[in-house]
Amino acid sequence: MKIRNGVIAFSALSLFVGTVVGCATEAVVVDPPDDGVVLDSSTPDTGKVDSSKPDTGRPDTSTPDSARPDSSTPDSSTPDSADAAPTTRPGDPFDPLAPKPGDMCPAGVQVNDVITRRCGKCGTQSALCDTGRVVGAYGACSNEKTNADACLPGEVIVSECGFCGYQVKRCDNTCAYTEGACLNQVAGGCTKGEVTYIEGLCGPATVPPSAPTDVRKQTCSQTCQKGTPEPCAPRPLDELVASPTPGTVVTGEFGFFGTKEKKLVVGNCPATVGTVDANVHYARIKNNGAQAINVTVLHKAPTGLTSIPDMLVTTYGGTNKPADRTACTSVVQDSPEALNFDIPAGGAVVFHSMQDAGSATKIKLEVHTNYVGAGPQPLVLPAGAGAKVSAAVVPTAGMTLARLSASACPTTTTSSNTTYAYIEVQNPGATARTVDLFTTDGQDTVMGVYAGNTAPADEPSRLACVGSVNDTCPSASDPKNEADSCLTGVSIPANSSIMVYVAHYFTSGTAPTLLEVVTKN
Q: What is the pLDDT of residues 152-165, one digit of tens each?
A: 999 999 999 999 99
The string of pLDDT tens digits covering residues 46-57 is 555 555 555 555
- Map residue 461 onto helix, strand or coil: helix
3-state secondary structure of 316: strand
Q: What is the dihedral of CA 224, 197, 317, 365, to 10 degrees?
A: 30
Q: Which CATH number fits domain 379-519: 3.30.420.40, 2.60.120.380, 3.40.50.740, 3.10.640.10?
A: 2.60.120.380
232-288: per-residue pLDDT in tens?
A: 998 889 999 999 987 688 999 998 988 899 999 998 899 999 999 999 999 999 999
pLDDT in tens, 157-190: 999 999 999 999 999 999 999 999 999 999 999 9
Instruction: Give the span between the Cα atoms of 444 and 452, in whole angstroms.
Output: 26
| Alpha carbon separation from 398 to 3, 248, 308, 371 (Å, rounded) | 94, 11, 30, 11
Q: Are strands 413-427 and 379-380 parallel, antiparallel or unpaired?
A: parallel
Q: Which of 449, 465, 498, 494 is nearest to 268 (CA)?
A: 494
Mean pLDDT, range 220-226, rounded to an integer:
95
Instruction: Say which residues have a Cβ less than 8 Å from residue 292's Cβ, sequence separation at least 6.
Output: 342, 343, 344, 345, 372, 373, 374
3-state secondary structure of 127: strand
Concatenate the DSSP letters of all residues of 261-305 into one string: EEEEPSEESSP-EEEEEE-EEEEEEE--SSS-EEEEEEEEPPTT-
Q: How far apart are CA 238 and CA 240, in angstroms?
A: 7
- Calpha distance 124→173 (Å, rounded): 13
The residues spanned by each domain of the chain are 84-185, 187-236, 237-372, 379-519
Q: What is the pTM of this model?
A: 0.49
Instruction: List the Cα angle 340/357/355 in 5-degree steps.
Output: 45
- Strand 114-119 versus strand 123-130 pairing type: antiparallel
Strand positions, DSSP E, 382-480: 388-393, 400-404, 413-427, 433-439, 445-451
A 10 A CB-CB count for 485 gives 25
Report the distance separating Cα 115 and Cα 94, nearest Å: 13
CA 72 to chain centre: 48
Q: Among the residues of 373-491, which ranges form H helices? A: 459-463
Give the max Cα distance, the chain: 162
Judge if 237-372 and 379-519 fold alike in CATH terms: yes
Distance CA 450, CA 496 (A): 12
Q: Residue 134: which residues within 8 A CB-CB, separation 6 or more?
A: 102, 103, 104, 105
- Cα dihedral 230, 234, 237, 239 in deg (nearest 10): -20
Of 228, 226, 141, 145, the C-alpha closest to 187 is 226
* CB crowding 89-126: b at 16 or more within 10 Å, else e: eebbebbeebbeeeeebeeebeeeeebebbbbbbbbbe
Question: What percentage of the chain exceeds 70 in pLDDT?
Answer: 81
Neighbours of 13 (CB within 10 A): 10
Q: Could you tell me the pLDDT band of residue 33, with boundaries at 50, 70 and 90?
A: very low
Closest Cα to residue 399, out of 320, 455, 336, 469? Answer: 455
Per-residue model confidence (pLDDT) at position 509: 65
Tell me the sheet residues that pair with 119: 94, 123
Topology adopted by domain 237-372: Jelly Rolls (2.60.120)
Which band of pLDDT confidence, cut at 50, 70 and 90, is reported for residue 63?
Answer: low
Read off the amino acid at residue 166.
Y
DSSP state of 477: T
